[in-house]
A and B are shown apart, each in its own frame.
Chain A
């Protein structure tokens, strides 16, 4: 009777130990993944913040880059000259119909991504048509 009880107790302990070990392994894996994802998300956020800071700095220092409608390529050039501050993957592309710049950031393994569209016209980085100097027309002189 005592042998049987000991065997049953050992079997219960072994089963619960194995299940617990499996849960702990899953827990460790998910904790590592969560930490990595959190770090990746923070890096993406930091990169976006750096991009917006440089856009605002550009607006303060340089003002308009080009007439509105043609400023996105100049903005793309300015941002491409600045390398990403972190180890994120950065993809800059033009939306020519909107005269906008699309910024896509992704972490390693592309598990996380961010995407924002910036318009130079909304940042004071282009000269609106209403503010452009008008060419003197021949009629005005004639």
Chain B
């Protein structure tokens, strides 16, 4: 081997071996840290998704309990109208105050009440169909609001109340749906 070729080859010294070993050794710890972080992050993100699902379920349950309270309140109100103040059934809410058949103090219990989920309030009682649409029935739309102090929100739901017969009496009450959250 010529002298110039021997001079180009790097010499295999003890320093070179130590550098190679330290390069291999330095690879293990960052890899372990990276894999661990990835493992933990993926587990935490899945856990967050599960928690979100639980919160969603709890919110749905609250909404269903609010719906139950509003349906019960609607039944209570309509039954009370039917029993004690049937003359108000075909009249819209703005005419109730001027109705001769009810004293003003008696209107107060009709406009609000208490439920396990909060306080309900009567917002609207208006005709949803023309007075005489050929079927002899009249449909009134009832709008109630439930204020929940725990959730600090108010939910509104609408109901269809069907009146039929002569004189008009309540023949059906159905939940139409939500009318917003305040």
A-to-B contact residues, CB < 8 Å: 1-2, 5-6, 8-10, 12-13, 15-17, 19-20, 23-24, 26-27, 30-31, 34, 37-38, 41, 44-45, 56, 59, 68-69, 98-100, 112, 114-124, 128-131
The size class of the interface chain B forms with chain A is 35 or more
**CB-based contact A128/B57 at 8 Å:** no
Interchain CA distance A100-B76 in the complex, whole Å: 8
| Interface positions of B from 137 to 171, Cβ below 8 Å from A | 161-162, 164-165, 167, 169-171
Once A116-B72, A122-B74, A131-B169 are accepted as A-B contacts, the answer to whether A30 and B36 lie under 8 Å apart by CB is no
- Interface SS, B side: helix
Chain B CB within 10 Å, residue with most, of A8, A56, A122:
A122
CB <8 Å contact, A9 and B32: yes
CB <8 Å contact, B171 and A124: yes
Q: Decide if A117 touches B75 in the complex (CB within 8 Å).
A: yes
Find residues 3-23 in chain B having any chain A CB closer than 8 Å to their own CB.
21-22
Neighbour of A100 across the interface among B22, B75, B173, CB < 8 A: B75
Q: Which residue of A lies closest to B78 (CB)?
A: A122
> Can you show 9 pairs from A to B with CB atoms below 8 A apart?
A5-B26, A5-B28, A13-B32, A16-B37, A23-B40, A112-B61, A116-B72, A117-B72, A124-B162
User: A34–B169 contact, CB under 8 A?
Assistant: no
> Which residues of B are interface residues toward A (Cβ below 8 A)?
21-22, 24-26, 28-29, 31-33, 35-37, 39-40, 42-44, 46-47, 50-51, 53-54, 57, 60-61, 64-65, 68, 71-72, 74-76, 78-79, 82-83, 86, 116, 161-162, 164-165, 167, 169-173
Contacts of A128 in B (CB 8 A): 82-83, 86, 169
- Docked CA distance A119–B33 (Å): 65
Bound CA–CA A129/B84 (angstroms): 10
Contacts A16-B36, A122-B79 known; 15 new A-B pairs at CB < 8 A: A8-B29, A10-B32, A12-B29, A12-B36, A13-B36, A15-B36, A16-B40, A23-B47, A24-B46, A45-B64, A59-B171, A68-B79, A115-B68, A116-B75, A117-B72
